[in-house]
Amino acid sequence: MKIIDRLNEDRIHISFEVFPPKTDDGIERVLATTDEIAKLDPTFISVTYGAGGGTSKNTARIASHIKNDLHVLSLAHLTCASSTKDEVRGVIENLKNLGIENILALRGDIPPNMAFPDGDRFRYAWELVGEIRRHGNFCIGAACYPEGHVENEHKADDIRYLKQKVDCGVDFLTTQMFFDNDIHYNFLYRIREAGITVPVLPGIMPITSASQMKRSQELSGTVFPRRFLSILDRFGSSPEAMKQAGIAYATDQIIDLLANGVKNIHIYSMNKPEVAAAIISNISEIITC
> CB within 8 A of 77, min separation 6: which ones?
46, 47, 48, 49, 59, 103, 104, 106
Cβ-based burial of 145 (10 A; exposed 0-12, middle 13-18, buried ≥19) = buried
Active-site pick, 9, 17, 87, 285: 17
Residue whose C-alpha is closest to residue 183's, from 208, 155, 211 = 155
> CB within 8 A of 109, min separation 6: which ones?
51, 79, 81, 82
Q: Are 117 and 123 in contact (CB under 8 A)?
A: yes
Q: Active site includes 240? A: no
Question: Which pairing describes strands 73-79 and 13-18: parallel, antiparallel, or unpaired?
Answer: unpaired
Active site members = 17
